[in-house]
Amino acid sequence: MLDEIQHIVDSMRPISLDEMDSVKLQNRTDTKYVFSSKQLPDVLSEIAPKYAALHINNTPYQDYKTVYFDTANDQMYIDHQNGKLNRYKVRHRTYLSTGAEFLEVKFKNNKRRTKKKRVSFPASAPLTEANVFLEKNCPYPATDLFPKTVVEYTRLTLVDLIHGERCTVDTNLMVTNYKTGEKADFSHICIIELKRDKCSSVSYMQSALLKNRIFKRGMSKYAIGTAVVYKNIKKNRFKKKLRYIEKLKYFNKN
């Protein structure tokens, strides 16, 4: 996939983290799109002149590895599957291009706002060493949490500095059952998330997606991936999304 889009991304102006941070997006909307990776070159060709690409360590491609934790009875996954509001995710994320490592707690409240807290934390350390952080930010102590699912992907971050928009483009998604090592390959899909200033009505990316008949569709990499690599887990609420993702495999073959 990266080979197909490399020349397009190379045509975009590179920017640094400091430049990207000028797009603060304090009052923003987030919209997610899930579609066939086969369509990504056409989408990027449309928007390339309008966006800058974030470069870290001289590359726009940032590899992420995230280990999600859950309780013995999968409480956080089940809360998501049931559509519960005021729910948590606990994860350890490694930015492979820089070596930075963080333990994170994400909380989605009943107004569908997501808040994230994180602390620098090595993957090799026992989770109990972060117990103070966990008890402060979520209802689950370290002793109740176990590694559940590993999510890996490559991310591009694109920025429209004029209209106040960030776009994350996630490809090469792979999900692994931490217990058994069973893998699910989602490399046939691409996930784009638009983070836009509410005051702006301009989004070249959104226009390009619509032109290619790609419509907004939510997806949690953790939840959908877990539903695939754990066979006997509750997944009724995700069946429609799972069928859609499976259908995209046949789109890629045409």
Please tell me the predicted confidence (pLDDT) of residue 21.
Answer: 75
Q: Please report, for residues 8, 18, 69, 204, the alpha-carbon distance to residue 200 in angstroms, rounded to integers and kept in the order given.
A: 26, 22, 37, 11
Please tell me the predicted confidence (pLDDT) of residue 198.
Answer: 61
Closest to 222 measured CA to CA, from 90, 29, 126, 95? 90
pLDDT in tens for each of the 254 residues of the chain?
667 899 999 999 999 988 887 665 444 567 899 999 999 999 999 999 999 999 999 999 999 999 999 999 999 999 999 989 889 999 999 999 889 999 999 998 887 777 889 999 999 999 999 999 999 999 999 999 999 999 999 999 999 988 888 899 999 999 999 999 999 999 999 999 998 766 557 799 999 999 999 999 989 999 999 999 999 999 999 999 999 999 998 875 65
At 128, list the tokens: 């109990």
Residue type, 122: P
Write out the E strands in the chain.
13-15, 28-36, 52-54, 62-70, 87-95, 100-108, 114-120, 146-160, 165-177, 183-185, 189-197
d(Cα 27, Cα 44) in Å, to the nearest integer? Answer: 26
CATH (domain of 234) = 3.20.100.30
Would you say 174 and 158 are in contact if contact means Cβ atoms under 8 Å apart? no
Please tell me the predicted confidence (pLDDT) of residue 26.
Answer: 47
d(Cα 229, Cα 225) in Å, to the nearest integer? Answer: 6
d(Cα 98, Cα 192) in Å, to the nearest integer? Answer: 22
Domain ranges, residue 64: 2-253
The domain tally of the chain equals 1
d(Cα 174, Cα 185) in Å, to the nearest integer? Answer: 5
Q: What is the pTM of this model?
A: 0.91
